[in-house]
Structure formats: C-alpha cells, structure tokens
Structure 1
Amino acid sequence: MDPDAALELVKHGITLLLLDVPQYTLVGIDTQMFAVGPAFKGIKMIPPGVHFVFYSSSSRDGKEFSPIIGFFIDAGPSEVIVRKWDQQEERLVKVSEEEEVRYVQAVRSLEFDRQLGPYTLSQDGDWKRLSNYITKSTIERLEPIGGEITVTTEPVMKNTPKTTMEKSLDEQLKTIKFSTTVDKSERKGCYYTSIPRVIKRKGIQGEELTSLNLDKTQLLESLLMKDYGGSEDSLLGELQFAFIAFW
C-alpha cells in the first residue's frame, strides 16, 4: 500500500489500543484474530462503524486458553479506544479518564504506530455482511451490564435437547477454574428477546394448537410487533448480534 494512503487510513480509522496484554493471548476483531507477541499494543486502521472485539487469556506456555470474552463497539472516524490488561482478573478493563486522554494523544501522535497491527481491510466486506443490521441501539439494548459477553455468564438452558458440541462445552465449563470468582446472582448475560418454546392459547386445542406450534409464523409476527415495533431490521440486528457473540 502507498505510504500516504496508509497514513490516511491510520489517521481516519479507529485505533484499538490494548496495553499490557500478556504474550500468547488471543485477540480478535470481527473475522480476524491475532496471537499476541511481545511488541503487540493493539490494532489500527479499523473502518468506522460497528465491530466485535474478543480475546482469550492463555496459560504461560500458550497451550491452554480461557473462554472467550468479547464486547461490541460502535466508533467513528479517528476514534481511539483504550483498554488495559488487568493481571489479577485476566481481562481488559477501561482506564481512567486522565490516562485515556494521555494515551489517545500518544496514538494520534503515532507513538504506538509500530506496535499496532493493521486491520485486514480485505476482510471488511465479510464483516459488513455479517453485521449490517447491528446498530448502536441494538448493542445498547442487548449487551450485558458492563458490556462484556462470555458464555460463562449466559443462563443454562435446562431440560432441552443438546448437541454433542453443547454437551462437550458444558463439561469443559465445569472443569474450568476462572481467575475471578463471581457470584452467580451477579452474573448477567445478554438481554435477548424471550421466545416461547411452546405456544398455549385459551380456547385453542387439538389440531389447531398443534399447527400453531409447528408453524411459528404467527408467533414471529406477534414478536415482531410487540418487541421490535414492527421493525424487521431490529429483529435481524438481534439475530446477527447473537450469532456474532457466540460463533
């Protein structure tokens, strides 16, 4: 890429500054993933808009990894997002406002430029197709308190059929020792729209009730009006959000 064009992308793109992330940690954004090396300080040249940032902490030898933690961002041109690794909790946290101002200025002065990996722009089209219905309001409506999304805080569905992969995940989560002890009552998952598994209506029974449970068209239309104000885009945004959060 032409140096002048690259500089323009650096200046006008989003910068994700990730400080003190341990080596071997997996860090990703959208459809891209990086294995952290000793000089890694984040990602630059990110196109403005909605993105999903995720990471997984590693053991010292880089052979074992914790469950992925992720969060959505919706940032504008030239915006700098700063996170710092908390060694005790093994997760990325926000810095103080004073620190943030200092780091943002350093990024805009290109002090971290050599330590920032470039966003692979050729993959941006794939990401846009996966996330084109997700908006800022979608994120604000669905994200957990604090914004962090991880499978360990999502409610467990009981008495429902599970695939082999889901059963394997359940067993894995039972054996994982989390770095931070969190009371189950404090854990908050995403605020997804509740969808009834079985339709029950007064005055309807037999063949008609069976038909309603087999063909969920009426249920979909009802949810669309009640929970999404008739907006199909809002429904599609939630579906994309859920798919990306746990793909």
Structure 2
Amino acid sequence: MNQDTARTLFEHGAFLILQDVPEGTDFGIDWNSWVTGPKFEGVKMIPPGVHFVFYNTVSKYGGQPAPRTGFFHNFKSKEIMVKRWSPQTEELLDQHCIEDELTAIRGKLQDLDKHLAAYPYDTLKKWVSMTNELTADVTEKLQPDDRKIRSVLELLPHESTPDDMDTGRTRPTDKDGLPCLNVNPTTVIHFSPIPEQWYPPGAKPSEMTQHSMDSSYVLSTLLARYEKPENILGELQFTFVCFILGQVFDAFEQWKKLVRVICFCECDLNNHIDLFKSFVTVLYHQINEIPVDFFVDIVSSNNFLVSTLSRMFNNIEASCFDEELQAKATKFRKYLTKKYKWKFNAEPEDWAPVVVEL
C-alpha cells in the first residue's frame, strides 16, 4: 500500500481505540487475528460497514484461553469507538465519550498511530463476500440485548421462591444439591424461531405429510418476519460468523436449520428465484471456509450438506422455470463434485418423510 492510499484510509476510516488490553490477548477483527503486544491500543483505518470484533484472554501462566467474546458494530466513516478493558469481568467495556473527549482523541490520532494495528485490506474482499447480505438492521435484530456474542452463555443463580425460604434454603438446588442456574436472558442471541414441525396448525394428516417433504410453508413464515426476503440470507451469514469466528455452537445449529429450510422448498421455489440465486452464492463462499469432512455425522457417516443440497438440486432441476438459476445450480453442483468428490444422489433413509395413514 502506497503512502497516498494509506493517508486516505487513515483520514476516512474508522478507529477502534482499546485501552488497557492485557498483553498476550487473542484479538481479532473480521478474518484477521493477532496476539496483542505491550503497546497495542486498537485498530485504525477500519472500512465503513458491519464488522465483527472478537477476543479472549490467555493466562500469563499458560493453560487454555478464556471463552471467546465478540461484538458486531456498523462502523461509520471517521468514527472513533473507545473501549476499556475490565480486569474484573475480563471484557471490553464501552467508554461513552462526550464530543470534547472525542475531539481530543482525534487530535492525538497521529501520536497513537504507532500503537494502532492497521486493518488488513488484503482480506477485506473476503469479508465483504462473507457478509454482503448482512445489514446493520439484521445485525441489530439478531444480536443479544447486551450486544455481546459469547461462546459460553452467562448463567445466573435461580431466584429464590417463598417455598425455598420456608425450607431454610437461600438458593434453590437440583436433586444433586447443586445450585440451579438460568441463562442470563440478556446474553441470548435472537435467532429466528424455526418450528420442528413444518406444517401449519390444524393441518390434515395428508397435509402434514406434504409439508414434511416441502418447506414452502415454514419458509414463507420465516420470510414474513423480515423486512426483505433476502434478510434471511443475512441471518445465514450472521450465524456463520458467530460460529466460525465467535465459536458459538448454537449458531451452527441455527445455520443448519436455515440451510435445510431453504433447500427443501419446492412448491414456492419459483416465487423466490432471486433468493435462491443469492443463496447459492452465499453458500459457495461459506463452504470454502470449512474443512471438507466437517459436515459428516460421526454416528451415521451422512454428510449434512450433501443430503440437503441434493434436495435443492433435485427441486431446481424438476420444478424451476428460470434458466439462469438452473445453470447456476448446475455449475455449483459440478464445482462441489469436482472439489470435494461429493455425490449428490438420493437422500439418506432417516431423512425420508413419515407418511401419515388416513
């Protein structure tokens, strides 16, 4: 990067100022990560848009790192975000600066420059391709109330009841005498609810069978939750980032559910042509970031993606009227077959629908 380009990015990019971060902390933004040194004070030249910042501390005495914590933020051009490390909670806490304080920090940016890591622009294209459908609105809708993505949910003691007080227990316990704990609701990610049963209330037995084979109903229900149909792909990208970078396993489970719902849509497929075209592109970029054997079930040896994509490819081949989508799906199928040696044939026996007898 030449000096003129660097100067322009410095003047128009955003700044993440991090105060008192312990040396040796694993820290990252988007697809980049580092181990912090003694003089690390943040990141400069962050391009405008949605980004994911993550970190976990490592004990100076060795051992396993602490669970990962991260946050999404829609950085504006020239924005200055300030956070300070809390030794008590081992988290980065917001520092709400007034305008005069921000002006003072902005005046010292040149002096801070040598302590700030430059955003690696050689990975920006990759980040954009992985989050092109992830808007600030979708991020705001999905992220927890406390705006932190945690690999391990925060647990709180169960509140005492009058019965507990009568028995002399200050805190309720389970059958083994251990304290009862509840998940802190402010730390829960607001994933779109996906019902286990894909048929509508009051469906007849024959309709249950049809809906169990075709996800059109549940997909339309999900799309109605969003302002735009493509926002479901934003959630797909949100869950992927939360799993790969945030190390949130529940996000991977949500990602699989969303993929299956989209792939099993048959009757309404031609009503969502643009959605399916974009879905193929999103999946293409995501699959390239995961080891080829990652989706293989260690018990059944079935590959989730092979089974699920087989249904989508069959649906497009049999029911799609759009030649461009047909060509795109065929190209994607050939790519996966060539690169990963995946064979898209019949689905596993345990995926077959249960036929309800009248």
In 2, distance between residues paired with 1:64 and 1:6? 37
SS of equivalent to 2:152: helix
Aligned to 2:289: none
1:111 Cα deviation (Å)?
Answer: 2.1
1:187 Cα deviation (Å)?
Answer: 4.6
SS of equivalent to 2:8: helix
Aligned to 2:259: none
Given candidates 223, 239, 242, the residue that maps to 2:239 is 242
The one-letter amino acid paired with 1:11 is E
* Pair 1:204 & 2:234 matched: no
* Pair 1:214 & 2:225 matched: no
Q: Is the 8 A contact 1:13 1:47 kept in 2?
A: yes
In 2, distance between residues paired with 1:234 and 1:154? 28
Aligned to 1:159: none
Given candidates 210, 216, 230, the residue that maps to 1:233 is 230
In 1, distance between residues paired with 2:100 and 2:189? 30
Change (3 A) 1:151 1:62: same
How is 1:5-16 mapped onto 2 (pairs within 5 angstroms)?
Answer: 5-16=5-16
In 1, distance between residues paired with 2:223 and 2:116? 43
Aligned to 2:64: 64
1:46 Cα deviation (Å)?
Answer: 1.1
Change (3 A) 1:7 1:26: same
Relative to the length of structure 1, the TM-score reads 0.80
1:80 Cα deviation (Å)?
Answer: 1.0
In 2, distance between residues paired with 1:25 and 1:83? 15
Q: Is the 8 A contact 1:86 1:93 kept in 2?
A: yes
Larger radius of gyration: 2
SS of equivalent to 1:44: strand
Aligned to 1:143: 143
1:154-210 deviations in Å (ceiling 9; x for gaps):
89xxxxxxxxxxxxxxxxxxxxxxxxxx9634553111110001234424215x423
1:221 Cα deviation (Å)?
Answer: 2.0
In 1, distance between residues paired with 2:12 and 2:107? 10
Identity of aligned residues (%): 33
Change (3 A) 1:185 1:28: closer
Aligned to 2:32: 32
Structure with greater contact order relative to length (CA < 8 Å, sep ≥ 6):
1
Q: Is the 8 A contact 1:24 1:62 kept in 2?
A: no
In 2, distance between residues paired with 1:57 and 1:107? 28
Q: Is the 8 A contact 1:153 1:187 kept in 2?
A: no
1:9 Cα deviation (Å)?
Answer: 1.0
1:66-117 deviations in Å (ceiling 9; x for gaps):
111111111111111111100111000011424x853563344322100001
Relative to the length of structure 2, the TM-score reads 0.56
Change (3 A) 1:203 1:86: closer
In 1, distance between residues paired with 2:62 and 2:115? 21
Aligned to 2:21: 21
Aligned to 1:42: 42
Q: How large is the RMSD of aligned CA atoms in angstroms?
A: 2.2
Q: Is the 8 A contact 2:149 2:189 kept in 1?
A: yes
Stretches of structure 1 lacking an aligned partner (at least 5 in a row): 156-181
Change (3 A) 1:105 1:235: same
1:115-154 deviations in Å (ceiling 9; x for gaps):
0011110100000011111122112211111210113228
* Pair 1:113 & 2:110 matched: no
Change (3 A) 1:21 1:62: farther
1:19 Cα deviation (Å)?
Answer: 1.0
In 1, distance between residues paired with 2:8 and 2:197? 54
Aligned to 1:77: 77
Aligned to 1:133: 133
Change (3 A) 1:187 1:50: closer
1:62 Cα deviation (Å)?
Answer: 4.9
* Structure 1 range deviating more: 103-112 or 124-133: 103-112
Q: Is the 8 A contact 2:144 2:186 kept in 1?
A: no
Change (3 A) 1:104 1:50: farther
SS of equivalent to 1:202: coil
* Structure 1 range deviating more: 84-93 or 10-19: 10-19
Change (3 A) 1:112 1:186: same
1:218 Cα deviation (Å)?
Answer: 2.4
1:10 Cα deviation (Å)?
Answer: 1.1
